[in-house]
Amino acid sequence: MNQERRDRKMHLGAFFHPTGNHVAAWLHPNAQIDAGANFEHYASITQTAERGKFDLMFVADAVAVRDGKLQALRRWPQYMAYFDPLTLLPALAAVTKNIGVVATATTSYNEPYHIARKFASLDHISLGRAGWNVVTSSAVNEAWNFGRDTHYAHDQRYDRANEFVEVVKGLWDSWEDDAFIRDRSTEIYFDPAKLHTLNHEGQHFKVRGPLNVARPPQGHPVLFQAGSSEAGRESAARFAEGVFTPQHTLPEAQDFYRDIKGRMAKYGRKPEALKIMPGLNAIVGRTRKEAEEAHRFLQSKIHPDVGLELLSIQLDNMDLSQYDLDGPLPDIPDHVAAETGQASMRNIVRWSKEEGLTIRQIYERYAGARGQRTVIGSPVEIADDMERWFRNYGVDGFLYHPSHLPGGLDAFVDLVIPELQNRGLFREEYEGKTLRENMGLERPKSRYAAEGCRAKQGG
Ligand SMILES: Cc1cc2nc3c(=O)[nH]c(=O)nc-3n(C[C@H](O)[C@H](O)[C@H](O)COP(=O)(O)O)c2cc1C
C-alpha cells in the first residue's frame, strides 16, 4: 500500500441520469418513473448525495431528443425529455449548501459568451459550487437543431473546444475579484482599471467581451472533461480539473491515469491539478446475494429492441437487425471506427473479439452499465474494490452511476459511504465551502491580476 495514498481521501461524484443509469431503470419499483419532469425528485436525490458528502452531483446533456427507432425508444425514455441542466442546477443550488453542481454543456452548439455567463451566474448563485463538463457532442442529431446537416469531424470538434475554453476562461477574468468597490461615500461602484476586455480573435471565435457577470466566487467554475480519445486526452491535460472516463480494469485505469497526468507538464500544470474519476456502476445490497438479485432484476428488464438499439447507437447507427442475437458481432467497418474514434466503441469491439461475447451478451453488458464498469456486491466488497483502485493509483475518485434513482443512491449512501468513511477513505464533513476547496483544487488567479496588468477598458 502506498504511504501517500493513506493520507488522502477519494473524491466522489454522483451521476444523475433521468431515472438512473440502467437502461431499464424506469421499470424498477424504486425508481421515480417521471424523473425527467420532476423537480422534487432532483431536489431530493441531490440532498441525499449531499447527506452522503459527495463532492458533486452531475447531469449530462445533449441538445436533441435521442434519435433512433421509435419501436425501441418508446421502451427507453432516458434522455428523451428532461430538464435543461442550466435551468435545473440553480434551483438545486438553492436547496443545498455544500454539494457541487456540475453539468454538461457542449462546445459544438453553443457560443462561449453564453456559456461563460451561465456558469459564472451558477457559481454566484451556488456560492462557489459550479462545475462545467466540457463536451464536444457526439451525435449528428444535435447538428440538425443548429443549422447544420453534418456534425463537425472528431478532431475539429476538439480544436473548437480548446479555443472555446480559452475564451470562456478569458471572459471569467473580465472583472478582477476586487473590481466592485460599491462605495456610497465616493459614489464609485467599480474600478475601471479592474475591468478587462478580452478582444479574442481566433480560428473559431471572435469575442470582444467583457463579461456582464462579476468574477465567479471560484475564480473559474471547475472544468471537467469526459472524452478518452487521443484528442480528448490532450484537451483534458490542457484544461480539465476533473476527468470522467469509462475504465474497466485496474491496469487500464492506471495507464490512463499515468498518461493524462504525464501530459500535463507541457501545459505548465501539476498532476494534482486534475482529478481522475472513472465511472463506477456500483450495485450494492446488504449482502452480495441481495445485490445480485437487484442486478438480475434490472438485466431481466432489458428488452431486445432496446438492447440492439443501444448497441447500434454506440456503433455509429450500424444496423444489427439482421444478425442473430446469440451470434457474434459482425466486423465494424474501419471507416466507422476511425471516424468516431470513441472509447465506448473500442470497448465493445474488444468484448466481442477478446472475450467472444455474443450480440446479446454485449448489449446486456453495455446496457446494464451504459459503458461504465459494474461492481456488484455487499458494502464491504464494493469498498474493497474502490479502495484497491484508489490506493493503486488507478483513480483520484469515482463518478458513481446509481443504477436506478432514488433507490440505488439511497443504498449506496446508507451502506457504502459509511464503510469508506470507517476506512478513512472518504470525508465525514466537507472540507470547504466551494467545490474547488472540496476537490483540493487551487483557485485560479485572474490572468490580469497575475500579470499585474492594468489594461484600459475600451468601448
Ligand atoms: C461520464 C461521461 C459523461 C458524459 N457526458 C456527456 C454529455 O453529457 N453529453 C455529451 O454529448 N457527451 C457526453 N459524454 C461523451 C464524451 O464527452 C465524449 O464525447 C465521448 O466520451 C467520446 O469522446 P472521445 O472520442 O474523446 O472518447 C460523456 C462521457 C462520459 C464518460
Q: What's the whole-model pTM score?
A: 0.94
Q: Name the packing angle between helices 343-355 and 359-369 (round to 10°).
A: 140
Q: How far is the CA of 286 from the centre of ligand 1 (A)?
A: 32
- What local confidence, expressed as pLDDT, does residue 434 receive? 98
Residue whose CA is closest, atom 21 of ligand 1? 227
| Side chain identity at residue 395, one-letter code | V
- What local confidence, expressed as pLDDT, does residue 290 receive? 97
Bond prior to 210 in cis (omega within 30° of 0): yes
CA 253, CA 393: separation in Å to the nearest integer? 8
Q: Which of ligand 1's atoms lies nearest the C-alpha of 341?
A: 25
CA 437, CA 40: separation in Å to the nearest integer? 28
Q: Name the packing angle between helices 230-239 and 250-263 (round to 10°).
A: 60
- What local confidence, expressed as pLDDT, does residue 341 receive? 54
Residue among 260, 254, 259 at smallest CA distance from 241: 260
Q: How far is CA 386 from the centre of its chain?
A: 19
CA 340, CA 138: separation in Å to the nearest integer? 8
Q: How far is the CA of 179 from the centre of ligand 1 (A)?
A: 37
Q: How far is the CA of 244 from the centre of ligand 1 (A)?
A: 8
CA distances from 8 to 2, 396, 426, 440 (A): 11, 9, 8, 10
Q: Name the packing angle between helices 154-172 and 112-125 (round to 10°).
A: 50
Ligand 1 pocket test target in 16, 86, 138, 223 with most atoms within 8 Å of CB: 138
Q: Which of ligand 1's atoms lies nearest the C-alpha of 401?
A: 1
Task: Say if CB 200 and CB 169 are below 8 A apart.
Answer: no
Q: How many Å from the N-terminal Cα to the C-terminal Cα in the chain?
A: 59
Bond prior to 406 in cis (omega within 30° of 0): yes
CA 152, CA 143: separation in Å to the nearest integer? 8
Task: Say if CB 419 and CB 379 are below 8 A apart.
Answer: yes
Joined together, the cell numbers standing for residue 126 give: 451556488
Residue whose entry in the numeric block shows the C-alpha cell 432514488: 406
Tally Cβ neighbours within 10 Å of residue 266: 10
Joined together, the cell numbers standing for residue 122 give: 451558477
- What local confidence, expressed as pLDDT, does residue 30 receive? 92
Q: How far is the CA of 104 from the centre of ligand 1 (A)?
A: 9
CA 77, CA 83: separation in Å to the nearest integer? 13
Joined together, the cell numbers standing for residue 288 give: 452480495
In our burial notation (b when 16+ CB lie closer than 10 A, e otherwise), range 75-97 reads bbbbbeebbebbebbbebbeebe
For 333-391, the DSSP string reads PHHHHHHH--HHHHHHHHHHHHH--BHHHHHHHHHHHTTSEEEEE-HHHHHHHHHHHHH
- What local confidence, expressed as pLDDT, does residue 314 receive? 84
Indicate the pairing of strand 180-183 with strand 188-190.
antiparallel
Q: Which of ligand 1's atoms lies nearest the C-alpha of 279?
A: 1
CA 385, CA 381: separation in Å to the nearest integer? 6
H helices of 246-302, in order, are 250-263, 288-300
Joined together, the cell numbers standing for residue 280 give: 463506477
- What local confidence, expressed as pLDDT, does residue 180 receive? 98
Pocket lined around ligand 1, Cβ cut-off 6 Å? 60-62, 104, 106, 135-138, 226-229, 232, 244-246, 279, 341-343, 399
Ligand 1 pocket test target in 57, 106, 135 with most atoms within 8 Å of CB: 135
Residue whose CA is closest, atom 29 of ligand 1? 226
Divide the 459 residues of the chain into consecutive groups of 10 and give the mean pLDDT of each group.
69 96 95 96 98 98 92 93 97 98 98 98 98 93 94 92 98 98 98 98 98 98 94 96 95 97 97 97 97 96 94 86 92 68 74 90 86 94 98 97 97 98 98 98 92 49
**What are the phi and psi torsion angles at 263 (to 5°)?**
-80, -10
Residue among 238, 244, 186, 196 at smallest CA distance from 373: 244
Residue whose CA is closest, atom 20 of ligand 1? 227
- What local confidence, expressed as pLDDT, does residue 450 receive? 64
CA 338, CA 396: separation in Å to the nearest integer? 30
- Furthest-apart CA pair in the chain: how many Å? 80
